[in-house]
Structure 1
């Protein structure tokens, strides 16, 4: 994206941030319905992912789920306006929080908050940063200008943004200093530092970074999920109990546990998981591409 495009995107998101939340959410659902009716590469990816992960569902059920997912994805893009340009209070107004741990515990051990790519992940992270200090890992986008805009807006409440490719030493130092680190490890980032473990029974290239950082930083791993609530009531950020006996000493065992936990959450609201991502982009040796 060129500089003019970024200015236009920022202007649109600023405008959306000034509109009522429910209006923006409904508009996103309408646009998502319209876009699903058009042929697209992302629609193709969603359909393949759903067929692989839910083989027991009928074609009609796959199409219904894919349509609902498109609505949520497009809606989440429009709601970036509130997330990137709205006030801290406007974010608090639309996000509930339920935590199984004491977030104000000054004696808590180093903590890795492990998120997953549901459509609401960003607003959940933004909400947390309005309450407490946190560092957050991000993956650099292909557009430098868009990446710079996203990093700036995501950090405006004090979150320290760290590129995923940064030195692990820096992340470990943050953990040991007492600053929690938020990250997500449920996308296919390539075979380096990854293992193949099942995700809904399909071999998925899964990062081992969570285990490695937890071991080096002597940190507990606390999963969190942000759910879109029905009837345009906003979101719910759920912070779970720390994973017991994690890391285990085996990257394969830990990666499988992460995927198993994610599977439990996905089946609760499958239309909200980020199926537009090529989750099975890399395949084990000898297995053909599915996309």
Structure 2
């Protein structure tokens, strides 16, 4: 198991997921954490990744690096999403095995499950139906990563585990407004409508799909907990087990931002999967449960956005 001086590599340490894991590790007094920016290490370059593992020799790896985005990005760039994510995963998992990493965690996504999956979604529903078309490329890459970890464990006796978080939000999210996920996109849109005195905010879809959201620092806490305590070949959903409609989410963000205008729903735009609620009973039985409620998390995410707006 990890000790406080173990060399821990967090791939994607500058992003929403990776930065939360780094903060979580530091809070738990892990002292030997390494991360590389894209300029320092191109994770799509197999030779560079091999050289990094050969020279740095990390003992533990959190594979949080990925190409991510919302409905618009996934449906516009499906080839990029499957190709880049497969390249990153293959390079890191392959090098981890080659250079004897003691334990690796692969972070996937709840989009791995079928579009019309029974709710709430249990881990055993994986590969039981057709995927959501708008993010199929990303989902296929993440399914491959999960299976690769299980197959390496089976064939080589490695200790690789996978987690599938629900929709995440928090510090260092992508607030671009176009290629971002729904939570940061709405935070930015309502904020800009407020400061520009806009009379309305247009939101994609009907507002009826149901979604679950988890604060990124809760997600990081769950990941570190599993790295410290779990060994086996199962994978875990990470979430809250609670859901709300996109319309309710928009109203919550509108209230948090303090915007007084109207919300207009553009039903000509896609909704995506109608409902996506994770069954988190396997994780709770393992001893972990979320802490941050959605209203508090949205307030903290908006506060971070305000403090870092000029950098987005």
Q: What TM-score, normalized to structure 2?
A: 0.25
Larger RCO: 1 or 2 (CA < 8 Å, sep 6+): 1
